[in-house]
Amino acid sequence: MALVSINPYNGIELARYDVMPEAEVIEVLERVASTQQEWAAASFADRAACFRKLAALLRDGVNGFADLMTREMGKTIGASRAEIEKCALGCEYFADNAEALLEPTMADVGVNKSYVAYRPIGVVLALMPWNYPFWQVLRCAAPAMMAGNAIVLKHANNVTGCAIAIEQLFVDAGFPQDALRNLVIDIPLIESVIRHDAIAAVSLTGSTRAGKSVGRIAGESLKKCVLELGGSDPFVVLEDADLDLAVSEGVKSRIQNNGQSCIAAKRFIVVDAIRPAFERAFVEKMAAAKMGDPFDESTDLGPMARLDLRDTLTCQVDGSVARGAKVLTGGDVPKEPGAFYPATVLGEVSAGMPAYEEELFGPAAALIAARDTDEALRIANDTVYGLGAAIFTENLELGETLARDRIQAGACFVNAFTKSDPRLPFGGIRASGFGRELGAHGMHEFVNVKTVVVA
């Protein structure tokens, strides 16, 4: 059996990768578990040196890595280069700050000495998605490995080439040979890998359905897991919003990564007083998005990553229209080859429609009308998800209050679209998962929080 990588721009097969026999998988797990003890014994300075070298290699090889990402999953070449730079910055952030973030916490309990130490937990299985092939891996690996853990990577099948390149990068950067290993396996073998004694914890970025399955298996195995799952992020535009800013940020958020981002704005909830003006400008700007060759620097929107993903989005859009939504732009599958779907805006979206209830993982936006601020917030929270959100208002004090106290999500941005940053925790609530990546909180997810008392 082989895993197949297909270029979504033209449908041409890029490569086939033979899957590992189960015996080889077990051998890899055991080797990584052994190497983890060696890595945990290394100093923060030694670990940091490896990650700084990794950052340098990423920048040196940016064009080749970007080319690989664009060919395997279709993101525009500019977005691919930006992803590599973000990976380098993430490596440097954790190299510079991990030791301080894991500094023991002193506690005075009336004895000679007492404190909380943060020690590595072991081997983390990273189950990673295709939409950010390098960043998703590095945002898990950098904090986990700087804490002294090792990584076993199972990447999405269609970006196996990226996974192999990442594994080689770690070797070239001077990490121990088996500190990060990639498994070329298909989905059915994942359960036995999770249950293997070598695995101490699991990090999954993926769909809510995948999260439920992985969470169940990890729970049965009594293994810590972090689940970063789907989102149907609200983008709330209040009456006093800067219209030009809201439209510009909304379009960027909706078509970034060809519309395939868990924290992209999906439901655009606009109060009635500003809705007609927002709708006109937003539709015009979405309609102007240039769809085409992802290697063309002027392209705004490349193909979706796979044809089946486009089929799912098409069904969601068509299902919403059948229930009364109106196509304001886009909505038709192009006739040319490739997994293309145009920038699409649906108006008159309401509860019960797929565009309201489900995650649209592609360049389609749902416009939802709200009478006032209170109704806008009610609609924003009327979802099973809770990953990210955005609020646009000129009243910054009000925006901050609503973001902090009223929106139910793992992150809420005021007057900007939601994005991740190595310095800030990232993750969601409810059907968007639990646990955090990045920042101090991400550093603490995969450590043993150990109480030490010296009487």
Phi, psi of 235, deg, nearest 5? -125, 95
Catalytic residue numbers, as ranges: 228, 262
Q: What pLDDT score was predicted for residue 238?
A: 98
Residue 337: band (very low, low, confident or very high) from pLDDT cuts 50, 70, 90:
very high
**Contact (Cβ atoms closer than 8 angstroms) between residue 168 and residue 182:** no
Residues of the chain with CATH 3.40.605.10: 2-229+430-454
- CA nearest to 128, candidates 206, 71, 55, 200: 206
Q: Looking at the DSSP assignment, which residues form a beta bridge with residue 345?
A: 329, 365
**Contact (Cβ atoms closer than 8 angstroms) between residue 387 and residue 404:** no
Q: How far is CA 307 from the centre of its chain?
A: 21
**Which CATH number applies to 233-414?**
3.40.309.10
Most distant CA pair in the chain, distance: 75
Q: What pLDDT score was predicted for residue 154?
A: 98
Residue 336: band (very low, low, confident or very high) from pLDDT cuts 50, 70, 90:
confident
Residue 75: band (very low, low, confident or very high) from pLDDT cuts 50, 70, 90:
very high
Residues of the chain with CATH 3.40.309.10: 233-414
Assign a CATH topology to domain 2-229+430-454: Aldehyde Dehydrogenase; Chain A, domain 1 (3.40.605)
pTM of the model: 0.97
Q: What pLDDT score was predicted for residue 342?
A: 98
The pLDDT of 283-298, averaged and rounded, is: 98
Q: Taking 90 as the threshold, does the pLDDT of residue 214 lie above it? A: yes
